[in-house]
């Protein structure tokens, strides 16, 4: 598998605080890589370093297999949307894109109409200033600005943060089309893990500046799998019944809930045994572990911003 970007012991220190600690990340070419972590875990710091906006304290990274001075010349092939889009609020979407094209030496006559159409802004009144756009429209314009010059790698920091469901769906569609129609590799961070799970091909989990794991969407589904969830007011009694059936189970953090790995075909028998033991059975069902569940299990729970 070819990697469009690899980091080697990438580290960023601010005084005595280590924001990013020896991160070794691998972004496959032509795929969407979701970077997951709490607020302050180091996601934005990593993105700033690999987009050339910040200098690593230690370590390095390879872009298209290139490092050093040659890599700096390739940064023009990297589109970046970190934090708020760099939009001129008094200018229209067309004018914003035209300015970016001129700055990068790109002919705006073909580029601007194509980008507006790609992000769904082609029908917006040319007299409408970007400052009056909705949040979703501003994010789509920000993505269009990052796409000026036809970059091979796009770095997007929380592009769906704050959007309504319609706006999230629109951005999600744009990301998938960029990958499938243009072959663009995308590094995206998001705290809305349910949405990230719908588009990402690979994931990296970062916690307190350290990359805990990298895995593909296929590996996620194999690791997470399905389990039986039991809700009862007498978890101790239910655990005794399961032990008598030679079924291993464990208490979940969720109150009154028990988790059983495997034994998916014994759900009816488990329910019957618990009820026959005179134990109140409130719920029993199969559940698939989500990306959010997997992330919280890996990082010890808590908020996933």
Burial 122-158 (b: 16+ CB within 10 A, else e): eebeeeebbeebeebbbbbbbbbbbbbbebbbbbbbb
What's the mean per-residue pLDDT of the chain? 90
Query: Going from the N-terminus, what domains does the chain have, and what CATH number goes with each?
Result: 3-221 (3.40.50.300), 226-288 (3.30.70.100)
Structure tokens at 23: 């991160």
* Nearest by Cα to 28 from 213, 214, 295: 214
Q: Average the pLDDT over 111-138 and give the result.
A: 94
Res 281 pLDDT > 80:
yes
Res 305 pLDDT > 60:
no
Q: Average the pLDDT over 295-305 and give the result.
A: 65
Per-residue HEC secondary structure of 136-161 comes to HHHHHHHHHHHCCCCCCEEEEECCCC
- Binning pLDDT at 50, 70 and 90, where does residue 301 land? low
Q: Give per-residue pLDDT as tens, 11-36.
A: 999 999 999 999 999 999 999 999 99
Q: Give per-residue pLDDT as tens, 166-225.
A: 999 999 999 999 999 999 999 999 877 888 888 999 999 999 999 999 999 888 876 766
The per-residue pLDDT for 224 is 66
Quickly tell me which residue has 């349910």 as its tokens: 194
Paired strand residues for 232: 281
Q: Give per-residue pLDDT as tens, 44-102.
A: 999 999 998 999 999 999 999 998 888 888 888 999 999 778 899 999 999 999 999 99
- Binning pLDDT at 50, 70 and 90, where does residue 285 land? confident
Burial 25-34 (b: 16+ CB within 10 A, else e): bbbbeebbbb
Res 302 pLDDT > 70:
no
Q: Give per-residue pLDDT as tens, 224-236.
A: 667 889 999 999 9
The percentage of the chain sitting over the pLDDT mark of 70, rounded to a whole number, equals 96
**DSSP code string of the chain:** --EEEEEEEEEEEETTEEEEEEE--EEETTSEEEEE--TTSSHHHHHHHHTTSS--SEEEEEETTB-HHHHHHHGGGEEEE-SS----TTS-HHHHHHHHHHHHT--HHHHHHHHHHHTT-TTS-TTS-GGGS-HHHHHHHHHHHHTTT--SEEEEESTTTT--HHHHHHHHHHHHHHHHHH--EEEEE-S-HHHHHHH-SEEEEEETTEEEEEEEHHHHHHHH-EEEEEEES-HHHHHHHHHHTT---EE-SSTTEEEEES-GGGHHHHHHHHHHTT--EEEEEEEEPPHHHHHHHHHTSS---
- Binning pLDDT at 50, 70 and 90, where does residue 253 land? confident
The per-residue pLDDT for 129 is 96
pTM: 0.78
Would you say how long the chain is, in residues? 305
Res 303 pLDDT > 60:
no
């Amino acid at each position: 598998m070819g990697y469009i970007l690899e980091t080697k012991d990438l580290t960023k220190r601010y005084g005595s605080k280590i924001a990013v600690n020896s991160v070794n990340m691998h972004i496959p070419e032509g795929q969407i890589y979701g970077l997951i972590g709490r607020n302050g875990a180091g996601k934005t710091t990593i993105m700033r370093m690999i987009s050339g906006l910040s200098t690593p304290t230690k370590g390095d990274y390879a872009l298209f297999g290139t490092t050093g001075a040659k890599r700096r010349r390739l940064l023009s092939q990297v589109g970046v949307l970190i934090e708020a889009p760099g939009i001129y609020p008094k200018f229209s979407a067309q004018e914003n894109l035209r300015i970016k094209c001129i700055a990068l030496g790109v002919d705006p006559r073909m580029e601007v109409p194509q980008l507006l159409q790609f992000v769904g802004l082609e029908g917006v009144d040319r007299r409408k200033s970007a400052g009056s756009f909705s949040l979703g429209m501003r994010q789509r314009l920000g993505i269009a600005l990052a796409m000026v010059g036809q970059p091979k790698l796009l770095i997007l920091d929380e592009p769906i943060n704050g959007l309504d469901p319609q706006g999230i769906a629109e951005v999600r569609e744009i990301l998938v089309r960029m990958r499938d129609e243009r072959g663009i590799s995308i590094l995206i961070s998001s705290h809305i893990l349910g949405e990230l799970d719908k588009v990402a091909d690979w994931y990296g989990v970062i916690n307190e500046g350290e990359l805990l794991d990298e895995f593909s969407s296929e590996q996620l589904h194999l690791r997470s799998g399905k389990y039986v969830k039991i809700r009862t007011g007498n978890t101790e009694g239910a655990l005794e019944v399961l032990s008598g059936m030679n079924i291993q189970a464990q208490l979940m953090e969720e109150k009154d809930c028990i988790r059983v790995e495997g034994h998916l075909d014994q759900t009816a028998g488990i329910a019957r045994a618990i009820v026959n033991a005179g134990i109140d059975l409130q719920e029993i069902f199969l559940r698939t572990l989500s990306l959010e569940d997997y992330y919280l299990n890996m990082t010890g729970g808590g908020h996933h911003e």
